[in-house]
Structure 1
Amino acid sequence: MSSEPLLDRPGDRDDPNAPTLTPLRIAFEPADPAAVAVQADVLAVIGFGAAALPDDPRCLRVGLEPVGAALLEVWRSRGPVRTGRDGEIRWSSDGDYTFFSIEVPEDAVDAIGAAAEHLYRRLGEWLGQRPLHVLRLWNYFDAINEGDGDAERYRRFCTGRVAGMQGLFGGDYPAATVIGRKDGVRSLQVYGLAARRAGRPVENPRQLSAWRYPRDYGPTAPRFARAMRAPSGQILISGTAAIVGHASRHRDDVAAQLGETLANLDSVCAAAGAATPLGEGSVLKVYVRREADAEQVTRGVRDHLAGGGEAMLLIGEVCRRELLVEIDGSHG
């Protein structure tokens, strides 16, 4: 398929008086992937676990097992959407928003750090040829906590990713998630959302900015914003856990960790200027390390959303071994 530059409206990207973009419609749907993927307004279809998806650049399967019904995460835009492949990168775009994904087998580049460096260097080359602003990134790979000290796979990933970025985002990092799969497949998956207009990175007053973490957490601090206020006003929330300042809280207590995580979500949404609290208009992915905690976490999230919004639970490993739950999503 075509790998020509994506659509843009000349002069619109940098015009502060240009109209804001229409928000993406993000939802969890119990649908047939093949039927959804051919709909004109579908920008992305993300399936989890054993989901069988068509070979379409808009479709991506992530090997995280869902708890309960296997739903699809569907992104809908104003349409129509066109798609393409450019080497390792698959993309779809409606001219306002672009979905992209790239997967690199670790055995092709020797290790997780090298895979991260290669992937982000390639992504930077691709983005550098297009008038796009990255709003959001997701990173998934197997066995995130394997290895001790600086040999831990997550720490090696962070070092490789920063080496591959090489100033890709300047100081305005996108919102991001990094979660460990438990499927035994040694490949790094990254997918993301970009737009023709820039968003506004948002930090959480309750947490130290990730790139300022002390050396205790590895040789290379992570590089991401706690959230991104999209040019539509939608709030795109990074993976968020029970971290206050830079320290993990409530070791071995999933209920207390969930409460702290939800407090962080409320805090970052307020910092982003959310007109309403989490609930109606919230779409959350909840990553739980231990399946035995899923029911308790589900109840806690449902109570916090007060009957509004959507949440999907997935079994995944958080970047720090003591952390039992992490949540990301969108609001508004």
Structure 2
Amino acid sequence: MATARREMHNPAEDTHAGPRATVRGAPAAAGLPRLSIEYVDAPGPSALLGCDDVLAVFGFGGAVPATHDDPRYLRVPLEPHDSTGFEVWRGSAPVIRGCDDGLRWACDGQLLFGVVEVAEREGDIQEAARHAYSRLAAFTTGSRTPHLLRVWNYVDAITLGSGDDERYRAFCVGRARGLGDFDVRTLPAATAIGRCDGERVVQVYWLASAAPGTPVENPRQVSAYRYPRQYGPQAPSFARAMLPPAGSAMPLLLSGTAAVVGHASMHDGELLAQLEETFANFDALVGAARRHDPSLPTRFGAGTRLKVYVRDAHDLPLVADALDQRFGDAVPRLLLHAAICRHELAVEIDGVHGAPLV
């Protein structure tokens, strides 16, 4: 099986002496890292950004503001199903924030939210991904929060092209080259999803920490970074989940998960069967994480937050109904119209589990 390609990158090529020095010198938050994640109904992001423990606020789709003066706000280009709510990350006050030549960040001394958006030039997604990840790596390396815990990637037309010319495969090559000389044993949890607004912009945002987390793999699946060559010249660079730093008040961070067993997609054309297989994967993943942290709840519940990505907009009500039957109101969730990174997959889910209740 293929192992991840390792490309050398010189962080000195991307300088962040000003703002990164500020992040490096941010006052350490008292105690251990803390992160809570909530889905909140609000008329807009401004009121949510008024709290000094907020690391980030996310709006979804075209009905929310595209930008905000506060660098902690980000619009995610995926349309929500029957919701205009916001996702809010809360850390430890006080949170400082800033911008560095388009890279926006917020830090509480223990955790850092960062985001970079890179427009493709003539459809070159590989170069846009390389540039985005070079910026990410250069910004975090040597900072007070050098450990990547979780990354989200949103790119347009993710499955366009065939064979090695498929855009997702090109993205994976660019991501690995931008990360530089990485160790697959420390890769962050991640999601890569297709945006549906037609904008050829690679949007990457992440959560980094002063202390390392513990990557977790799913015993039902081949580790993504060990996928065979049939999936492209560069295996995807992520872990299936990430346990937070030991002793922290943070949830288990779940990567994008779908109906994949081993490395093969299952139940082509059977949406509800794919949904069941996805939750079987989550059961196995949580079980693997519990071997490190037995305090994690065995099943999804009030401390779980899920983002559910559905490929075909007309399937959103069907998925919503299936989730209502499975969870009722017990599990907060967002349903989003998004393209999945394999043609045959109709649904993908990520989220957090065991979140501190607020």
Fold match by TM threshold 0.5: yes
Partner of 1:42: 54
Hey, what's the Cα distance between the residues in 1 that align with 2:76 and 2:297?
32
Letter in 1 for 2:314: A
Partner of 1:125: 138
Deviations 1:18-50 (A, max 9, x none): 96433x110111112111112211110011111
Counterpart of 1:302 (choices 317, 320, 324) is 324
Deviations 1:114-133 (A, max 9, x none): 11111111211111131321
How many residues align? The count is: 325
Instruction: Quote the offset at 1:139 in angstroms.
Output: 0.2
Q: Which moved more, 1:254-263 or 1:299-308?
A: 299-308
Hey, what's the Cα distance between the residues in 2 that align with 1:171 and 1:155?
21
Instruction: Quote the offset at 1:302 in angstroms.
Output: 3.0
Instruction: Quote the offset at 1:306 in angstroms.
Output: 5.0
Counterpart of 1:190 (choices 193, 204, 207) is 204
Partner of 1:263: 280
Deviations 1:64-89 (A, max 9, x none): 11111111111011211110111231
Moved beyond 6 Å, runs of 4+: none
- Structure 1 unmatched ranges of 5 or more: none
Partner of 1:272: 289
Instruction: Quote the offset at 1:182 in angstroms.
Output: 1.3
- Aligned: 1:225 with 2:211: no
Alignment of 1:1-332 (within 5 A): 2-6=19-23, 20-22=32-34, 24-31=35-42, 32-50=44-62, 51-52=64-65, 53-107=67-121, 111-132=124-145, 133-168=147-182, 171-231=185-245, 232=248, 234-273=251-290, 274-332=296-354
Q: TM-score, normalising length from structure 2?
A: 0.86
Letter in 1 for 2:87: E
Letter in 2 for 1:54: H
Instruction: Quote the offset at 1:305 in angstroms.
Output: 3.0
SS of the equivalent of 1:275 reads: coil
- Structure 2 unmatched ranges of 5 or more: 1-17, 291-295
Hey, what's the Cα distance between the residues in 2 that align with 1:41 and 1:20?
14
RMSD value, Cα: 2.1
Deviations 1:125-172 (A, max 9, x none): 111131321100000011101111111110110111111111245531
Deviations 1:154-202 (A, max 9, x none): 0110111111111245531000000001111001000010111111000
SS of the equivalent of 2:23 reads: coil
Instruction: Quote the offset at 1:224 in angstroms.
Output: 0.4
Letter in 1 for 2:53: D
Contact 2:164 2:170 in 1 (8 A): yes
Contact 1:8 1:196 in 2 (8 A): no
